[in-house]
Structure 1
């Protein structure tokens, strides 16, 4: 197994997959479909466009800038540039960086933020820009209209699609170590995509891993607190927490509420046991289906089984979420650019494929 140490997620790759990380590391060339930028090209672009910093986490900053399109040289496209550095001064070697580029270039899915290119000497990664911010932003910012219930169901489905692909359908089995609503971004058509996927060849480097293990997020499965071992079932638990975040509009852990209500999965438990779902639904929602709330809560409980063996695979979760979406409407249409998916305007949105991996 391999554990990422320099991205914002600790990502494991299974050597039992049909294409192992070791085989990827032995490739001599970068993926041909990725664009090779120079450090000068990106630095100049960011200077000219007065690049905006859109992320600044433990493992490096992310800036939005504009570059020339290769397909249409007169056109320019917005991109997000990530610097592969961190506050602990642990930088990837060029071999580790090359491995990350090759793996990210090998995985491809509509619900994963797409890697566009790289700047090898500068150890930069260039991604597609996601203009509609993160799901966290739309759930927890007080100055904007919250996501509608239909949109939350779509997000739940999109995320399940991306995770099922990473776990079970890609040539390289990937598990996310920093799953959170802030790492789920929305594109121009309000499709949800997972971001911050990274890799590294050595799981024994404790320089960052030990710090991360001591301070796991409230999305982390109970067994991860004790062992620090990341598995696909840890991701399933995280998804269950996220479903309750969508249902309630509350943070997984809220330090601004009294003890006893600060941990989301503990707060919902007595209401779920008595099927008092009206008490946990986000009070800002005006239109929603109580039946679909109950069904989504049941899936969350399935994912939050204390025994990892009893948790479902993500393909099973995707199947269950798809059935909820299908029960709401036979055909849900994707929102158009002139639609407002934040507000529930009565339109139905379609998911191009309920089983999309």
Structure 2
């Protein structure tokens, strides 16, 4: 995450903690005064918030440069504060945040802790500063727990900055010293992505260590995150074949980590915002700050602090802290369900009983007729009948409450491979057409106070005598609605 044109989010969370201030008009912030004391003050959501957001993203050395050069405060807006706070996960009790002092004192340890591959480039801070045009607001891609991400341009095979639009386009992630993550996550990101190469993992181009500065340089992913394609207002719905292509690519990435890497890895933070898309909608996993080495031979799990993103973490991991590769499989099931339904894993804006996607969908997953109700209405029937059946069955298997009953990711890959090319579209199915007509008819009559009770039509509790409606479930397959006349009176 943090490598795309869309906004980036923090990834740590604490069980039983939630953000209850989503709709507030203002918030408390701590601001340093000249004397060094901290004072809480009310900050209005508006231009001043955007200024503070951009300012917090700038590396410390750039802040000094900007203040001395008199940089304008008319910054561009990236993502609204309400949106960021709504999606903000929370910090675990035992936080991994690293203080400035810890970051500075840990510099001599780099030679012991940093195990980078030879193909990674080592960048100078000033080169990255020039590559991102002085970390200017127009280059800002988003903000996450690690820090902010800026778009930049460097030499194809070197580290020097080049003119925007030339050379290699990269995403530069900076360490926010006031953020939720620090040295430990930075090391995990470098050590995992620096040594893991796969078409479905975001490529780490290089890194920068200079004084207290820590930056990471990734390949730029032009289509951003899967999350924004699914849930951002105004975005066009992803076609069925593209959704299945993305699901397959993400599954291949996890399968590589679990079963093909020289040393197996548990990703631990699989979610839509961490699935980035290249120009051809090829999915690549990003953000390895929470990744863990899989248990060694003879051990069944890794015992660790519960970290990840609420709504995606496997229930047994949340309850016990026992982490296995099957925890990732559960998270994949949640994401697959999000892709099928067009709903977020957790959405408090939904009616009661529908806040938690998995719990709402579970009763429908095993029903061959009711599963249609799960599918994203924005697809408008343009999805494969067989493909959607198999995909929902696969999601149900991945979301099994028993970790041992969940499939391996290599099995998930094999199940997904044929699904994007199936042509049996539901929109041309008689069953789907009658189901849609029945739903429309039921909604229209419910607005008029008409309900069905025990198979009979009622209005205000009183039975109505009526014939079956023309497009009902028992409608004749030979009855077709009359076509509207074409312009100019032509039929």
2:205 aligned residue: 116
**Alpha-carbon contact 1:9-1:178 (below 8 Å) kept:** no
- After superposition, the Cα gap between the structure-2 partners of 1:252 and 1:170, relative to the gap in structure 1 and judged at 3 Å, is same
1:137 aligned residue: 228
Match of 1:33 among 114, 119, 144: 119
State the Cα RMSD in Å.
3.0
CA deviation after TM superposition for structure 1 residue 270, in Å: 2.5
Q: Is 1:288–2:383 an aligned residue pair? A: yes
1:310-340 per-residue CA deviation (whole Å, 9 max, x = no partner) reads 11111111111114346559xxxxxxxxxxx
CA deviation after TM superposition for structure 1 residue 226, in Å: 1.0
Structure 1, unmatched stretches of 5+, are 1-6, 11-24, 203-208, 330-357
Give the greater-gyration-radius structure (CA).
2
So what's the TM-score if we normalise by structure 1?
A: 0.75
**Alpha-carbon contact 1:253-1:263 (below 8 Å) kept:** yes
* Structure 1 Cα separation of the partners of residues 331 and 291 of structure 2: 22
1:179-218 per-residue CA deviation (whole Å, 9 max, x = no partner) reads 110111111121111100136899xxxxxx86x64x8410
Structure 2, unmatched stretches of 5+, are 1-9, 14-110, 294-303, 425-491
So what's the TM-score if we normalise by structure 2?
A: 0.56
* Structure 2 Cα separation of the partners of residues 236 and 86 of structure 1: 33
Number of aligned residue pairs:
300
The answer to which of 267-276 and 108-117 deviates more is 267-276
1:99-110 mapped onto 2 (5 Å cutoff): 100-110=189-199
1:218-257 mapped onto 2 (5 Å cutoff): 218-257=311-350
* Structure 2 Cα separation of the partners of residues 271 and 200 of structure 1: 32
- After superposition, the Cα gap between the structure-2 partners of 1:266 and 1:162, relative to the gap in structure 1 and judged at 3 Å, is same
* Structure 1 Cα separation of the partners of residues 357 and 188 of structure 2: 37
**Alpha-carbon contact 1:9-1:198 (below 8 Å) kept:** no
**Alpha-carbon contact 1:180-1:242 (below 8 Å) kept:** yes
1:266 aligned residue: 359
Match of 2:276 among 185, 188, 197: 185
**Alpha-carbon contact 1:220-1:237 (below 8 Å) kept:** yes
* Structure 2 Cα separation of the partners of residues 327 and 116 of structure 1: 37
**Alpha-carbon contact 2:267-2:292 (below 8 Å) kept:** no
2:146 aligned residue: 59
* Structure 1 Cα separation of the partners of residues 254 and 366 of structure 2: 28
Q: Aligned to 1:247, what secondary structure does the other structure show?
A: helix
Q: Aligned to 2:183, what secondary structure does the other structure show?
A: coil
